[in-house]
Amino acid sequence: MSTSAPTPASAASATTLGAIPLAPIFSERVWGVHDLGPWFPAATGPAIGEAWLTATDCAVEGGALQGSNFGDLVAAHPTELACGSMGEFPLLIKVLFPKEKLSVQVHPDDARAQQLGMPNGKTECWYILSAEPGATVAVGLTHPMSNDEIRAAIENGTLEDFVDHIPVKAGDMVFVDAGTVHAIMPGVIVLETQQYSDTTYRLFDYGRPRELHIEEGLLATKQKTRAGLVTPQPMEGFTRLIGEQYFFVDRFDLAASSSASLDSVTGLQILVALGNGVTLKGAGGGEIALHPGHAIVLPVGTSGWAVAASEAAQVIRIGRP
């Protein structure tokens, strides 16, 4: 009796996982752009607002698992890739390209999401990759407002005036915990790290003909949160941009012809290069190129990896505490 050849995902379940480079998925948005250069110069066509770097629909774009579906790998390797959390990959990494204002919105926390039958809420952070002069992000309310006051501001089109606008520049990190009313303004490109959830409640959308979720959003809104700019912390060999319950984000500033070990972390790591000429080097001597703006996932328990740069570049490392 003959048997069919194993699919890439089923073949992977019988092998030891190594580094997993992922091809991004591009998501069309009404507030997006048509040119994603220099990050993704080949992505042209409709208005793209988001590049999803660690979506479970992403395909592996190199190595022995070339073409495998990332979600299938996560399901087959929950201990190494899902941190044991019900088989779900814990973090969704995106690059956002807003040409126009994003809606004023809010996300539920874990408790609220689980009341509604979802596995988790959505706490996130934004690393500012670039910012035009005068660029801002809107994070939190300028003063405490009752639900009736928020509802009235939505109805009369003034809610945007009651959200606190924070000036930002390249290299800034902004924390947005669940329950924070927020919006991203045009003039920035953002690397977003979030709990893996796509639950967004739009409170106000500047008259664009999209669905609002006012009552759901008001139930999720918190009057006071810890959202705002985060002070970076120098560490040995890297800078910790943020360390929170659901994620940490580090930055390696690599000089030309230099390298840095990744062994300070043994848990799940996600790497995103912010420049050219970066490679991931394994203990056995293998090398993988880190394409700017693409993610490489290092499973739990991997060690002996280092990042190296032939020219000055930055590498972002994201993981679970």
Residues 179 and 257 in one domain: no
Judge whether 6 lies within some domain: no
96 and 47 Cβ atoms separated by less than 8 Å: no
What's the mean pLDDT in 131-135? 97
Task: Answer yes or no: is pLDDT of 229 > 70.
Answer: yes
Q: Report the mean per-residue pLDDT for the chain.
A: 91
CB atoms within 10 A of CB 16: 9
Judge whether 285 lies within some domain: yes
Q: Give the catalytic positions in this structure.
A: 202
Boundary (domain end) residue, out of 208, 229, 250: 229
pLDDT above 70: percentage of residues in the chain? 94
Judge whether 203 lies within some domain: yes
| Strand, coil or helix: 112 | helix
pLDDT at 15: 38
Residues 216 and 239 in one domain: no
pLDDT at 285: 76
pLDDT at 87: 64
Residues 237 and 221 in one domain: no
pLDDT at 11: 38
What's the mean pLDDT in 34-49? 85
pLDDT at 301: 87
pLDDT at 85: 55
pLDDT at 271: 98
What's the mean pLDDT in 249-274? 96
Q: pLDDT digit string (tens) for 77-112? A: 999 998 755 568 999 999 999 999 999 999 999 999
Residues 225 and 277 in one domain: no
Residues 224 and 238 in one domain: no
Q: pLDDT digit string (tens) for 6-15? A: 334 433 432 3
Ramachandran region, residue 187 (left: φ > 0; alpha: ψ -120 to 50; beta: rest): left
Residues 240 and 149 in one domain: no
pLDDT at 4: 34
Q: pLDDT digit string (tens) for 144-183? A: 999 999 999 999 999 999 999 999 999 999 999 999 999 9
CATH of the domain at 182: 2.60.120.10
Query: Could you list the residue range(s) of the whole structural domain that residue 280 is in?
Result: 233-319
Q: Which of 36-45, 63-72, 189-198 has the lowest mean pLDDT?
A: 36-45
Residues 198 and 313 in one domain: no
pLDDT at 251: 98
Residues 282 and 220 in one domain: no
Residue among 253, 279, 285, 249 at smallest CA distance from 265 = 249
Residues 149 and 60 in one domain: yes
- Domains in the chain, number: 2
DSSP string, 119-172: S----EEEEEEEE-TT-EEEEEESS---HHHHHHHHHTT-GGGGEEEEE--TT-
Residues 117 and 173 in one domain: yes
